[in-house]
Amino acid sequence: MVLFCVFIFLEPLAETCTASAAIEYRVVIAPRGTAALCDGGRDNWSGRRALTEQLSSLDQLALPETWSINSRRVMAVELEVCVDSVASALTAAECGATRLELCAGLAVGGLTPTLGTFLAVRQRVAVPIMVLVRPRAGDFCYTAEEVEAMATDIALFRQNGVHGFVIGALTREGDVDVATCQHLLAAAGPQADTTFHRAFDVVRNPEAALERVIELGFRRLLTSGQAASVELGLDLLCRLATQAKGRIQLMPGGGVSESNLAHLLHATGVRAIHASASEPAPAAMSALSFGEHRMCSAARVRALSVIIRSQGQL
């Protein structure tokens, strides 16, 4: 049997990242290790959106390290950017993110976003949107009432065309809460993309927890390596990458920056990166503070994309 992998290569033809920027794309079909340029051209943002939607079901294919086509390369490392506003989502999608994690309350690690925010983002971006489902700040041990509320949120987002969900739950002992995760995954449905989130970073036995996450059927694991940042968790990330290879996608996240991304990719060999790429947003003068507002930085997203390319991954 001959296996085929299909890729789309998209690149703005201008340095600025605007939704109206022209896009150059090539669709590549590669039968068992060979690459052939099948089509190409230029299109506008609507063309990019159409291509992305038509082939969105292919984003789970295992990719080779790189594909060289006419001295150019197709992206094999995904850049997921975490955003908590419509403006940040637009910036991330236009400047190089290949997937978004949409949430609210990034200052507390992320909470479930409103349906209205999701719909506003979905109407404006072409990249897949993963929605975080986390009802509150604090630990990841949920009551029966909280679990039902999470399942209801999942059903509502699913009815409105979400690509996938970022979920997770733990027992009081610090293990993966298998029963709760099964309930939430059932609500998400078998076609949904699923990521087990950074609840993993507080499990008591990461190697055993990874096996539970794989057995549950999650497609992806987001983790900092049980540390304050991916730099500090690098040793565990490398071990988890070895343990997980071929069975689940390991996606480092937590303190990913322009200064550590190259080494992170080289050390772990991962195919997906998670970053907020944010900066403080200008605020109106006020004698009272209600928390810092951060926005996705176009310059930082572009810089991360450039680093991926420079590492031979694009």
Give the DSSP letter string of 195-248. Answer: EE-GGGGG-S-HHHHHHHHHHHT-SEEEE-SSSSSTTTTHHHHHHHHHHHTTTS
Helix (H) or strand (E) holding 300: helix 298-308
What are 198-250's pLDDT values in tens digits?
A: 999 999 999 999 999 999 999 999 999 999 999 999 999 999 999 998 899 99
What are 40-77's pLDDT values in tens digits?
A: 333 333 344 444 444 444 444 444 434 433 333 344 79
Measured CA to CA, the distance from residue 176 to residue 141 in angstroms comes to 10
> Regarding predicted confidence, which is higher, 118 or 12?
118
Instruction: Provide the H-helix boundaries in 75-128.
Output: 86-94, 115-122
- Mean pLDDT, to the nearest integer, of 107-119? 97
Write down the pLDDT at residue 137: 97
What are 41-50's pLDDT values in tens digits?
A: 333 333 444 4
Write down the pLDDT at residue 245: 86
Backbone angles phi, psi at 101, to 5 degrees: -105, 120
pTM, entire model: 0.76
On the question of pLDDT at 252 being above 70, the answer is yes
Write down the pLDDT at residue 293: 82
Out of 66-75, 99-108, 149-158, 182-191, pick the least confident.
66-75
> Regarding predicted confidence, which is higher, 188 or 7?
188
Strands 164-167 and 193-196: parallel
Write down the pLDDT at residue 10: 46
| Residue 179's pLDDT band (cuts 50, 70, 90) | very high
- List, in order of start, the domains of the chain with CATH numbers: 4-66 (no CATH), 78-313 (3.20.20.380)
| Residue 270's pLDDT band (cuts 50, 70, 90) | very high
- Mean pLDDT, to the nearest integer, of 261-290? 86
What are 117-158's pLDDT values in tens digits?
A: 999 999 999 999 999 999 999 999 999 999 999 999 999 999
On the question of pLDDT at 309 being above 60, the answer is yes
> Regarding predicted confidence, which is higher, 14 or 109?
109
- Closest Cα partner for 207 from 229, 193, 226? 226
| Residue 187's pLDDT band (cuts 50, 70, 90) | very high
Write down the pLDDT at residue 82: 98
Cα 307 vs. chain centroid, distance in angstroms? 17
Average pLDDT value for the chain: 82
Measured CA to CA, the distance from residue 193 to residue 130 in angstroms comes to 8
Out of 23-27, 32-36, 49-53, 89-93, pick the least confident.
32-36
- Mean pLDDT, to the nearest integer, of 90-110? 96
Write down the pLDDT at residue 281: 82
| Residue 5's pLDDT band (cuts 50, 70, 90) | very low
Write down the pLDDT at residue 239: 98
User: Using H for helix, E for strand and C for coil, what is the string for 124-180?
Assistant: CCCCCEEEECCCCCCCCCCCHHHHHHHHHHHHHHHHCCCCEEEECCECCCCCECHHH
| Residue 30's pLDDT band (cuts 50, 70, 90) | very low
